[in-house]
């Protein structure tokens, strides 16, 4: 008998695609997708169960379906897709608490995989050149998605201590990018003119959408317990990324970019949250040694090739002239 995997957040594209990918794995017997609304598009052999992870009904689903592996993908990045900030926090934090409570009571659960994000490290002028998994943010997040992720990770660590018999794997993914990804960062790069923060040229790391699906499936089937930074090799400066898209950009003071972001967010054109603005000012670098040595995973796409694949979907050439590597800097953003 193969694994019986429950996937949360299946109504969103990345959750649906992962569930389909997992269902095609011969070592996985069944995949159950859970969300409050049905997914759009074909889900293949995945069984859909309408359930709200914020309620105790999720415990009944675990028991009824004999679930032994849970993949939590319901932590969302933008309030617009959730119906507002309060609903977003409920889904992210309260939903995670209820799901973990159900897993704690379920004797059949053997493995829990949580999709987290390198956003948990924040972005500031005091950041190290590369974050390792033992490090935390230099400034604790006070609001928004970053605060939600920080709290979610705390609850996951608490669950791992209470259920040491369960293998808990936390994937801290770099900004996911690709032709099918709709997110704050892809919306930003889809703008006709790309605004930049005057005086900063941040270093960026990306993870291709296909590599995200692969690392989650790897964590389900053969992954080691622990927390792992996952990103493509190398980095791009923001200026390099914009040039490779062939788009014009405009450098503005940080306050002006923030105001522009608020206008774009209200118009639902792009989401400029405080963590997004920080990332576009200072950038972020994460060390992926543990991803290779302990998790045993190697991304197929580098940061540059992942961005090139995304750019090709916008009409940018896949092949770009070689550029000098990003300058080595001590903090998250290079001034210039």
> Is residue 282 domain-resident?
no
> Is residue 8 domain-resident?
yes
Q: Are strands 47-50 and 167-173 parallel, antiparallel or unpaired?
A: unpaired
Stretch among 59-73, 110-124, 226-240, 309-323 having the lowest mean pLDDT: 309-323
CATH number at residue 81: 3.40.50.720
DSSP tally for the chain: helices H, then strands E: 12, 14
Q: What is the pLDDT of residues 92-143, one digit of tens each?
A: 888 899 999 999 999 999 999 999 999 999 999 999 999 999 998 888 877 7
> Is residue 255 domain-resident?
no
Closest residue by Cα to residue 333 from 242, 248, 238: 238
The Cα 23–Cα 1 span in angstroms is 14
> Is residue 240 domain-resident?
no
> Is residue 144 domain-resident?
yes
Residue 275 confidence (pLDDT) = 80
Which DSSP letter does residue 137 get?
-
Q: Which helix (H) or strand (E) holds 83?
A: none
> Is residue 159 domain-resident?
yes
Predicted confidence (pLDDT) at residue 79 exceeds the cutoff of 90: no
> Is residue 306 domain-resident?
no
User: Residue 37: how many CB atoms within 10 A of its CB?
Assistant: 10
Domain limits for position 121: 3-181+205-230
Owner of token pair 């709709």: 182
Domain count, the chain: 1
Q: What percentage of the chain reaches a pLDDT higher than 70?
A: 89
The Cα 126–Cα 107 span in angstroms is 44
The Cα 111–Cα 336 span in angstroms is 46
Cβ neighbours for 73, distance < 8 A, ≥ 6 positions apart = 7, 8, 9, 10, 12, 14, 15, 18, 115, 216
Closest residue by Cα to residue 160 from 289, 293, 70: 70
The pTM for the full model equals 0.89
Stretch among 21-35, 230-244, 247-261, 300-314 having the lowest mean pLDDT: 247-261
The Cα 200–Cα 138 span in angstroms is 19
Mean confidence (pLDDT) of the chain: 88
Predicted confidence (pLDDT) at residue 78 exceeds the cutoff of 90: no
> Is residue 14 domain-resident?
yes
Q: Give me the mean pLDDT over the 178-197 stretch.
A: 92
């Amino acid at each position: 008998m193969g694994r019986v995997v429950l996937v949360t957040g299946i109504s969103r594209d990345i959750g649906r695609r992962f569930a389909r990918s997992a269902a095609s794995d011969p070592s996985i017997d069944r995949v159950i997708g859970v969300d409050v609304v049905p997914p759009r598009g074909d889900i293949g052999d995945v069984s859909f169960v309408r359930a709200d992870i914020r309620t105790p009904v999720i415990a009944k689903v675990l028991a009824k379906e004999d679930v032994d592996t849970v993949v939590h993908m319901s932590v969302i990045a933008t309030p617009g897709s959730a119906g507002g900030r309060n609903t977003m926090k409920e889904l992210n934090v309260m939903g995670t608490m209820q799901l973990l409570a159900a897993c704690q009571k379920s004797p059949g659960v053997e493995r829990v995989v949580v999709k987290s994000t390198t956003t948990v490290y924040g972005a500031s002028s005091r950041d190290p050149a590369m974050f390792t998994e033992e490090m935390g943010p230099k400034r604790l997040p006070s609001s928004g998605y970053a605060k939600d992720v920080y709290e979610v990770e705390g609850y996951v660590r608490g669950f791992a201590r209470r259920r040491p018999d369960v293998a808990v794997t936390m994937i801290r993914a770099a900004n996911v990018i690709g032709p099918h990804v709709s997110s704050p960062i892809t919306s930003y790069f889809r703008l006709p003119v790309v605004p930049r923060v005057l005086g900063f040229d941040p270093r960026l790391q990306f993870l291709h959408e296909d590599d995200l699906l692969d690392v989650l499936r790897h964590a389900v089937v053969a992954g080691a317990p622990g927390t792992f930074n996952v990103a493509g090799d190398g980095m791009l400066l923001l200026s390099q990324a914009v040039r490779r898209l062939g788009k014009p950009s405009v450098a503005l003071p940080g306050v002006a970019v923030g105001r522009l972001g608020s206008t774009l967010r209200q118009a639902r054109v792009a989401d400029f949250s405080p963590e997004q603005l920080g990332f576009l000012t200072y950038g972020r670098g994460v060390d992926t040694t543990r991803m290779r040595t302990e998790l045993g995973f190697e991304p197929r796409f580098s940061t540059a090739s992942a961005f090139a694949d995304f750019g090709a979907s916008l009409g940018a050439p896949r092949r770009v002239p070689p550029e000098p590597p990003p300058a080595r800097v001590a903090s998250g953003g290079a001034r210039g």
